[in-house]
A and B are shown apart, each in its own frame.
Chain A
Amino acid sequence: MGRLIARRLLLLIPTLLLLSVVVFLMLEVVPGDPGRVKLGPYASASQVAQVDHQLGVDRPLPVRYVHWLGGFVVLHWGTSWNQGVPVFSLTMQRLWASIQLALVALLIIIPLAVVLGVTAALRRDGVADRVITVTSLSLTVVPEFVSGVVLTVLFVVFLKIFHFPAVPPAGAGPLTRIYYLLLPAIPLMFVEMGYIARMARAGMIEALSMPYIRTATLNGLSRRRVVYGHALRNAMAPTVAVIGTQIGWLVGGLVIVEKLFVYPGIGKLIADSATYKDFPVLEATVLVVATIYMLSNLGADIIVALLNPRVRYGR
């Protein structure tokens, strides 16, 4: 397994390199101009050209890329073209904020989805199963900006339970932070529930249909011991894998939820830097999120391997 991990970590480098080139080229193609963003629509073309020259935008493509890459690999991530603040601290701040939100979301999603999925599998084709399946699927298709607004109006405006915007005050302790982040985590839960609960359900059903389950039952083990001691562990493998793929989205892809709840996460930073042509910030944030994505997939694979020894030894 050590070799597996080492290989996957090495793969990170060419992947990130390729991604950085793609982002660079995409930003070239997208309309807009950093000088124009800085000066607004009423500045003259020559004034815009002056600013572009200061930012180095008028240099040839390969020169700009290599120059940026050289700085990036030694952690000289430069300064944001729009905000004038160092890219490294800005990115890390936003990343940490997004990670917190993702953790709170996972805190609700994982237990809930697993419990519901397992329950649905155990009471397969019964009332509970149908209710869980249909509800979770229906909630998945509700867009976050709809569920987010409805939840805010309900919980914040009418019931006054939660706080809006969902930004914990500076210096707040972990429990306060969780409280603030529960509201934005709920639309995320709606979206993820269907997928993860159904994976848990499918995994559980498959595990329960294995011959060794029948053997264990016939050997006299209690239902409880059979389900929670043996079947569950084998059922979780696909669920863990799926959660691993969703972590990337939960950290870096929450543009809509971040915009609606005014949460200073990295998803919104990516969207803004793309819109306003802030090249250093865009590259840094995309690469950071891509790294998180790949590491979380790797982490999920490691957990699956730990759960299932056969995977460890490559069978």
Chain B
Amino acid sequence: MSDDTPFQRDYADHLLHEVIAGRMTRRQLLVRASVVGLSATLVGQVLAACGSSTSSSSSASPSSAPKAGGTLKLTMPSPTVAVDPTTMYDTGSIAIAQQVAEYLIWVNNDLSLRPVLAKSWAPNADATVWTFKLQPGVTFQDGKPFGADDVVATMNILLNPKTVSAALASFQGILSQGGVQKVDDATVAFHLDQPFADFPYFVASTNYDCLILPSTFKAGTWQSNPVGTGPFKMTKFTAKQGATFVKNPTYWQKGKPYLDGVAVSFIDETQAEALALQSGSSDAMLTTPVQGAQALFSDTNLKVLTTPSTQSRFLHMRVDTAPFTNKAVRQALAYTIDRPALVTNLFNGKAQIGNDNVFSPLYPLAPTTIPQRAQDIAKAKSLLASAGYPNGLTMNLTVEEFEEVPQYATLLQAMAKQAGINLKLNQVTVTYYYGSGKTQPWLEVPMGITDWTFRGVPSQYFLPAFTSNGVWNSSHFKNAAFDAAAKGYDTTLDEAKRRQYATTAAGILTDETPSIISYWINVNRAMKKNVNGLTSDPAEFLDLTTTYLS
């Protein structure tokens, strides 16, 4: 029996119309339907009505039936500080916490949403109130039953300025303290500060600090007393060395996890991780960047899974500082770039080209009508001439020493030279680039390359990075038309209008080019061939619920 609200049924009709009119693909429909919380029955009805089959388009079927037992040996970078689910930000800490605690919703690799601690959800008519029904029969690992009180308490911790959680910034303007209310033990309602069509992503895994903790949780105690509803219990944690997990016998998904346990070793150098995998002392690596692990991609004893992601590097140019005040100069640099060459040279092809706007091709509403920028040296030169630099000019680029960023800058230097742009590189450490309390170079230097991790929705990029009041607006971009399109995109549930707003916003970014976005990097995960039920993850997250060893 479907318990969709009347609004959801109307919305399903709306989606159906969009698909029939050819403005929406089946895949986009599935993602949108999951965001608005339509039940499987309703989705099936919509698909049938537009002549599609209901077969799942998701991951490949396993080669053998899941086998229970065994311990997975996994390597990952060391958590930089003591693991605290409400303030964590690095890959290692997040992967550790995600084994023990869970989110309301998990974001799949295609950006559709999978219910976890939230069984179903629905918005009201203008997307200002989202009501979540919680999963019944769930207990925390210490036996305490899970319910609405825990969700409210966790959200209030994150929304509290005293908690110093980075999640606070992601909720800004959307949800504030007091907005999360218990309706009954199994229902929570989120009252938003403004309509927000993509709100479920903000309480999903993509907002990685939102792991649900018990209402009795005390800040700063997690590493010594790891709590959560998740599939594994952490039995041992040695700083900078490793952690041991065992299967949670009271896990609410019956029959899972298949593994008896997980043995995690912390290894900071990619090269060392790769050697550990090749030598057989580990079964899988959390994440396999191309740099430092090239040998693994051609190793026939291993498999390397890859998934497109929205991980990227934004090369910002401060629009309020010479010579970048003239958009012709910014565009000129963008036209010197041979994007496919970057993808081949930096990532062995495991990346997708970008078009200087935040709508990665992975997003369902990514506009398809904006012409892809390609290398055009003649055009770059003429743009520079029109801006008053017929003989080229010198630019200072601050480069952080992070993964492939220095190589990117070096390749860029060679490309830009062809148009007469002399790029001077200033290489700094990551710690320096992100700065101390008073100076944050990444927000102040005239030209810099910043790494951005995976974001589930484009708003999580364009709101902080490109709106006039954005907190991480390195390019100091202030454009009223863009702000309006951005706001429209988030606040309306009409799919046709959202697509228009997306096209407008993307078009403005590509034209104005406050940042050059040349590529979107795939996330790779290398493992032994006998590891099954583990996919790569665009955010480098670790979901071992269905993993088994054959």
Contacts and interface: CB of A to CB of B under 8 A. Distances in A.
Interface of A: 31-33, 35-52, 80, 82-85, 90, 149, 152-153, 156-157, 160, 163-165, 167, 259-262, 264, 268-269, 272, 275-277
B268 interface: yes
B267 to A, nearest CB: 5
Contact of A42 (B166, B268, B278): B166
Given A42-B169, A165-B267, A165-B281, A31 B275 contact: no
The 8 nearest A-B residue pairs measured at CB: A40-B89, A33-B436, A32-B431, A47-B164, A42-B166, A83-B239, A31-B432, A41-B434
B431 A156 contact: no
Contacts of A83: 81-82, 239-240
16 contacts: A31-B431, A31-B432, A32-B432, A37-B80, A37-B81, A43-B169, A46-B161, A51-B164, A83-B240, A84-B223, A149-B271, A149-B275, A153-B275, A164-B276, A165-B272, A275-B431
Contact of A84 (B82, B88, B162): B82
A41 B89 contact: yes
A32 B279 CA distance: 36
B481 interface: no
B253 interface: no
B387 interface: no
Contact of B272 (A163, A260, A275): A260
Interface string B240-251: 110000000000
Given A165-B276, A272-B240, A276-B80, A39 B432 contact: no
Contacts of A52: 437
B54 interface: no
A262 B267 contact: yes
A163 B276 CA distance: 9
Interface in B424-454: 429, 431-432, 434-438, 440, 442
A82 B269 CA distance: 19
B347 interface: no
A277 B87 CA distance: 18
Contacts, number: 124
A36 B437 contact: yes
A48 B276 CA distance: 36
B331 interface: no
B265 A33 contact: no
Interface of B is mostly: loop
Interface in B259-287: 265, 267-269, 271-272, 275-276, 278-279, 281
Given A49-B437, A82-B81, A83-B82, A40 B240 contact: no
Nearest to A163: B281
Given A42-B169, A43-B164, A45-B437, 19 more contacts: A33-B436, A36-B435, A38-B81, A39-B87, A44-B471, A45-B440, A82-B82, A85-B239, A149-B271, A152-B279, A156-B278, A157-B275, A163-B279, A163-B281, A165-B276, A165-B281, A262-B272, A272-B240, A276-B81
A152 B272 CA distance: 10
B3 interface: no
Contacts of B240: 83, 264, 268-269, 272
A157 B80 contact: no
B275 to A, nearest CB: 5
B471 A164 contact: no
Nearest to A261: B272
Contacts of A44: 168-169, 471
A38 B437 contact: no
Q: Of residues A39, A50, A262, A275, which shows the largest number of chain B Cβ atoms within 10 Å of its Cβ? A: A262
Contacts of B162: 50
B472 interface: yes
A260 B275 CA distance: 9
Contacts of B436: 31-33, 36, 48
Nearest to B431: A32
Given A164-B275, A259-B272, A262-B272, A35 B80 contact: no
Contacts of B431: 31-32, 36-37, 275-277
Given A50-B164, A262-B265, A90 B275 contact: no
Nearest to A49: B437
B89 A42 contact: yes
Contacts of A90: 239
Contacts of B88: 40
Given A39-B87, A39-B164, A82-B80, A260 B434 contact: no
A156 B272 CA distance: 12
A31 B275 CA distance: 32
Contacts of B241: 167, 264
